[in-house]
């Protein structure tokens, strides 16, 4: 059994995080920006989101956690499924299931965020997870 190359997981994870951060910015800013603004206004004093610089820093950390986790998943399943884009896509799907789909279903069940925002965010998360894992996994090597 081969060991996971931690340095390459970190390298690929950082690259995956950058891709995720960019895609998330496009989805939540350019595509959903007006919907988020309407929701924020409707929430009024119930919204306790941090100021923009702190919020951006938190989303960067979230992207890093997802990027590292996704490439770690890729490294873990690579010996069984083989190296390459098919395995990267599988790792991206696994990350998306746990990181986007399950929370989106929970958000829909709670009804706190408009469904269109949740669904578009979830679909955007799928695109982001797949692109991020294709980029991050391309940098992973066993040795």
As a whole number of angstroms, the distance between CA 103 and CA 94 comes to: 13
Longest pairwise C-alpha distance within the chain: 55
Q: What is the pLDDT of residues 90-121, one digit of tens each?
A: 999 999 999 999 999 999 999 989 999 999 99
pTM of the model: 0.93
Locate the domains of the chain by residue range. Answer: 10-138
Kindly state the tokens that stand for 75: 């490294």
pLDDT, the chain, mean: 95
Q: What is the pLDDT of residues 49-87, one digit of tens each?
A: 777 899 899 999 999 999 999 999 999 999 999 999 999
């Amino acid at each position: 059994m081969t060991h996971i190359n931690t340095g390459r997981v970190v390298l690929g994870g950082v690259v995956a995080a950058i891709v995720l951060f960019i895609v998330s910015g496009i989805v939540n800013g350019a595509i959903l920006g007006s919907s988020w603004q309407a929701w924020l206004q409707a929430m009024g004093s119930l919204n306790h989101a941090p100021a923009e610089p702190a919020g951006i820093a938190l989303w960067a950390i979230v992207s890093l956690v997802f990027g590292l986790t996704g490439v770690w998943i890729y490294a873990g399943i690579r010996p069984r499924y083989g190296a390459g884009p098919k395995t990267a896509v599988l790792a991206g799907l696994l990350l998306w299931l746990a990181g986007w789909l399950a929370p989106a279903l929970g958000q829909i069940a709670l009804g706190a965020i408009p469904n269109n925002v949740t669904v578009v965010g979830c679909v955007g998360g799928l695109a982001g997870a797949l692109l991020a894992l294709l980029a991050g996994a391309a940098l992973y090597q066993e040795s």
